[in-house]
Amino acid sequence: MFDSVGTFLTDKKLNTEFFVYECGYEDVKVREPYQYEAIDYYLIHFILKGEGHFYINNEHIVLKENQGFIIPPNTKNNYYPSSEHPWSYRWIGFKGSGCKNIFNECGLLLPNQEESISNYIYQFTDTYQMDHHFKNVFNFSEEDKPYSALGEAYQVIDLLSSQYKEEMIHRLSEAEKYVEKSINLIQQDYTNPNFTIEYLSNTIKIERTYLFRLFKKYKSISPKTYLIQYRLNKSAELLKKTSYSIEEIAYLVGFNYPSHFSRQFSIYKGMSPSNYRSQFYTK
């Protein structure tokens, strides 16, 4: 596919959280298996053609086109092409303190699943789109455009994280879907002062008492408390970042009465809205 191999390695650290350390592509020739040495960074591959063997933590799987795998730091691993259909792949190596959390959002390297090989592999059916971003990471790196390369790397992360979120929604039980749908509606319409839990339950077409039980089970709070806390968190953002008056903010986040807003805010934050805002004034 490539009829060649390309590699790039840099010591340029753009930030401390997440940056491209290396990248490349290769048509891997048939060879005898050998043990890779542990690395001190995160290495993710995407297979464009062919197939090969992937071993990690003494587990084994055969991977093919449209699949990929990730190797975290200091982890025993091995991977090599099949003898019948050697693979072609691209790879990116990342360093930074935020790598693990970022890959967790993609459904990879999840806590308490280290023993499962599925925790280290992924699939993405749109080969062209994934190849495009992997390729651009390499090309921009070669052109000494590290910020452009990092931007393309984030496109890869966005594709994987969006896919994972979609998968999680489909895996939810019907009960969990009601909660998820309720939360989405609250976040979309919390500014509406007429948005009540009765309105919410009517919108998603379940009884209010059942909705209450679901929230207590999956969120450990009532839907009414969730709505109030969401409004108060939004009001805290406005108090910190805008010059709106406290009365204006009360209305902006869906409260009918500023006095009720101030009382609820004081209970939730342990201080009045004015005292909260004063923390962010420059003296």
With beta carbons less than 8 A apart as the criterion, state whether 51 and 87 touch: yes
Q: What is the CATH number of domain 174-278?
A: 1.10.10.60
106 pLDDT above the threshold of 60: yes
SS3 label, residue 9: strand
pLDDT in the model for residue 282: 61
92: tokens are 């990116």
Chain region(s) in the chain for CATH 1.10.10.60: 174-278
Return d(Cα 84, Cα 129) in angstroms, integer: 27
| pLDDT band, very low/low/confident/very high, at 230 (cuts 50, 70, 90) | very high
Mean of pLDDT values over 71-84: 92
Beta partners for 94? 20, 42
- Residue range 5-171 forms a domain whose CATH class is mainly beta
- Phi-psi sector, 109: left (phi>0), alpha (psi -120 to 50), beta: left
Alpha-carbon span 136 to 159, nearest angstrom: 15
Complete edge-to-edge strand list for the sheet that includes strand 59-64 = 59-64, 51-56, 77-81
DSSP assignment letter at 106: T
Per the CB < 8 A criterion, the answer to whether 261 and 235 are in contact is yes
Tens-place pLDDT, residues 231-281: 999 999 999 999 999 999 999 999 999 999 999 999 999 999 999 999 887
Share of the chain above pLDDT 90, in %: 80
Residues of each domain in the chain carrying CATH 2.60.120.280: 5-171
Residue range 117-166, pLDDT digits in tens:
999 999 999 999 999 999 999 999 999 999 999 999 999 999 999 999 98
pTM equals: 0.66
Q: What are phi and psi of 82, to 5 degrees?
A: -70, 155
